[in-house]
């Protein structure tokens, strides 16, 4: 964690109806000075979508050899690698070689679409890669929830996500750009 990172704390109540996962998590997020509220909240959203007792945050935005989130088994083998934004294709290929499952959550509207178009031919062949896109408005709504201390509820059902602090509710429907089970989503 960078010494000048801003610390955010979140109590996250997750009700994932699809996975039958109902759990509360106390999460500490270190936001790098170059990271936006939107990106930080997309990391928190990815945490909610993959919540597990072994899920942990990587060292941060300035560390390419680690993801935003990951799950390692007891032998330090990587079961799950989760990144957000528009990572370079070399990093994604390396992640796919190191981890059983790799997820990338893109956001930012047209920029995310252009990133996928540019990398499609190189990434579509990676069997263990799933790419999900967060609509532009969904990312903006998530950013509005960012506070130094957050009490959030997250409900997940059939790729619909509702994240709320009791006043603001972000309703998000993720789009599957590429599913690990198919070549192109």
96 pLDDT above the threshold of 70: yes
Q: What pLDDT is recorded for position 62?
A: 61
Beta strand ranges found along 17-174 (DSSP E)? 21-31, 55-57, 69-72, 78-84, 99-106, 129-133, 149-157, 160-164, 169-173
2 pLDDT above the threshold of 50: no
For residue 11, which of 165, 118, 182 has the smallest C-alpha distance?
165
Q: What is the mean pLDDT of the chain?
A: 92
Query: What residue segments make up the domains of the chain, in order of their start?
Result: 6-178
User: pTM for the whole thing?
Assistant: 0.93
Strands of the sheet with 160-164, listed across from one edge: 21-31, 6-16, 149-157, 160-164, 169-173
11 pLDDT above the threshold of 90: yes
Place of tokens 């942990």: 56
- Residue 91: left if φ>0, alpha if ψ -120 to 50, beta else—which one? alpha
CATH number of 6-178: 3.10.640.10
Task: Return the percentage of the chain with pLDDT > 70, whole number.
Answer: 93
Range 166-182 average pLDDT:
91
Range 37-66 average pLDDT:
90
113 pLDDT above the threshold of 70: yes
183 pLDDT above the threshold of 90: no
Contacts of the segment 76-79: beta carbons below 8 A, 24+ positions apart: 79/54
Q: Give the pair of three-digit tokens for residue 60.
A: 């941060």
SS3 state at 164? strand
Range 75-86 average pLDDT:
96
CA distance 98 to 143: 31
Is the torsion defined by CA of 132, 181, 117, 119 positive or negative? Answer: positive
> Would you give the DSSP letter of residue 5?
P
């Amino acid at each position: 964690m960078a010494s000048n990172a801003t610390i955010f704390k979140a109590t996250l109540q997750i009700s994932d109806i699809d996975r039958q996962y109902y759990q509360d998590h106390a999460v500490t997020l270190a936001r790098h000075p170059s990271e936006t509220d939107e990106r930080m909240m997309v990391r928190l959203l990815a945490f909610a979508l993959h919540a597990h007792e072994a899920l942990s945050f990587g060292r941060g935005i300035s560390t390419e050899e680690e993801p935003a989130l990951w799950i390692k088994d007891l032998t330090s083998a990587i079961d799950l690698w989760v990144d957000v934004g528009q990572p370079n294709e070399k990093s994604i290929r390396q992640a796919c070689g190191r981890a059983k499952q790799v997820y990338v959550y893109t956001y930012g509207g047209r920029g995310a679409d252009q990133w996928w178009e540019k990398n499609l031919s190189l990434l579509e062949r990676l069997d263990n890669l799933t790419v999900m896109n967060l609509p532009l408005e969904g990312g903006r709504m998530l950013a509005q929830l960012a506070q130094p201390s957050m009490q959030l509820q997250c409900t997940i059902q059939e790729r619909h996500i509702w994240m709320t602090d009791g006043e603001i509710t972000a309703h998000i429907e993720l789009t599957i750009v590429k599913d690990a089970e198919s070549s192109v989503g």
